């Protein structure tokens, strides 16, 4: 695993086994029917919730659902709702996110310098769009009662702290619960892409 020689927790391995579909003969193993075709069960924090592919220009909804700007703007223009929750959504509700990377090009907390993993509690500050590990915000903002963005010093209110990933609660990242997957709205296209990728990987 990554992490340059640091001991990998065995629960990391468990997480991977439980949540990542294994490619077998170009299809996905595990689950039945449509869900079996999904590339993974839980959406990784660095992926767009509409295409399920890694994002380039992340934006979040007020509920903390993250999309790639190129995918969500046309979708909201056309459908006026969030593809994952089905709730009404306007372009002005979307917040551009600033994810920071370390010298290894891995996403990390720009204050604690901890690499983000599936087990990191990740939050964004709505007013600035900056993304931190929750530990940084809890320790340096909440406990000190100093609600100013840790990078920009911009004041914010407690409700501006939006959870993007909570390792204690993966409900909002369970892909089969996503509205656009359940209704089959984008499902066909995703399966086609996933099968193309799987075939490339198994060649």
Residue 52 makes CB contacts below 8 A (sequence gap 6+) with: 38, 39, 40, 43, 175, 190, 194
Q: CB–CB of 147/17 below 8 Å?
A: no
Residue 60 makes CB contacts below 8 A (sequence gap 6+) with: 66, 67, 94, 95, 97, 124, 162, 164
- Domain 43-96: what homologous superfamily? Zinc/RING finger domain, C3HC4 (zinc finger) (3.30.40.10)
Q: CB–CB of 20/40 below 8 Å?
A: yes
Please check whether the two domains, 43-96 and 98-173, share a CATH topology.
yes
DSSP-derived secondary structure for 130-174: BEEEHHHHIIIIITTT--B-TTT--B--GGGEEEEEBTTB-GGGB
Per-residue pLDDT of the chain (203 residues; tens, 9 = 90+): 444 444 444 444 434 433 333 333 333 333 344 455 666 789 999 999 999 999 999 999 999 999 999 999 999 999 999 999 999 999 999 999 999 999 999 999 999 999 999 999 999 999 999 999 999 999 999 999 999 999 999 999 999 999 999 999 888 889 889 999 888 877 556 655 555 555 555 45
Alpha-carbon distance of 145 to 159, in angstroms, equals 14
The whole-number pLDDT of residue 11 equals 42
3-state secondary structure of 83: coil
Alpha-carbon distance of 182 to 161, in angstroms, equals 29
Domain boundary assignment for the chain: 9-42+187-203, 43-96, 98-173
pTM recorded for the entire structure: 0.74
Q: Give the CATH fold of the 98-173 domain.
A: Herpes Virus-1 (3.30.40)
Task: Compute CA distances 60 → 84, 91, 133, whole Å.
Answer: 12, 11, 16
């Amino acid at each position: 695993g990554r992490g340059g020689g640091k001991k990998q927790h065995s629960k990391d391995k468990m997480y991977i086994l439980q949540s990542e579909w294994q490619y077998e003969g170009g299809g996905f193993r595990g689950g039945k029917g449509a869900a079996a075709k999904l590339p993974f069960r839980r959406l990784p924090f660095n992926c767009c919730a509409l295409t399920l592919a890694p994002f380039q220009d992340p934006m979040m909804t007020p509920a903390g659902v993250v999309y790639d700007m190129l995918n969500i703007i046309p979708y909201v223009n056309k459908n006026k709702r969030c593809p994952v929750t089905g709730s009404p959504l306007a372009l002005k509700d979307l917040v551009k996110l600033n994810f920071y990377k370390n010298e290894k090009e891995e996403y990390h907390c720009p204050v604690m310098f901890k690499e983000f993993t599936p087990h990191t509690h990740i939050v964004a500050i709505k007013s600035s769009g900056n993304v931190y590990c929750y530990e940084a915000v809890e320790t340096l903002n909440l406990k000190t009662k100093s609600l100013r963005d840790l990078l920009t010093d911009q004041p914010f209110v407690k409700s501006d702290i939006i959870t993007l990933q909570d390792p204690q609660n993966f409900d909002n990242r369970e892909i089969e619960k996503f509205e656009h997957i359940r209704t089959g709205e984008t499902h066909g296209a995703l399966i086609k892409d996933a099968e193309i990728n799987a075939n490339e990987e198994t060649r």
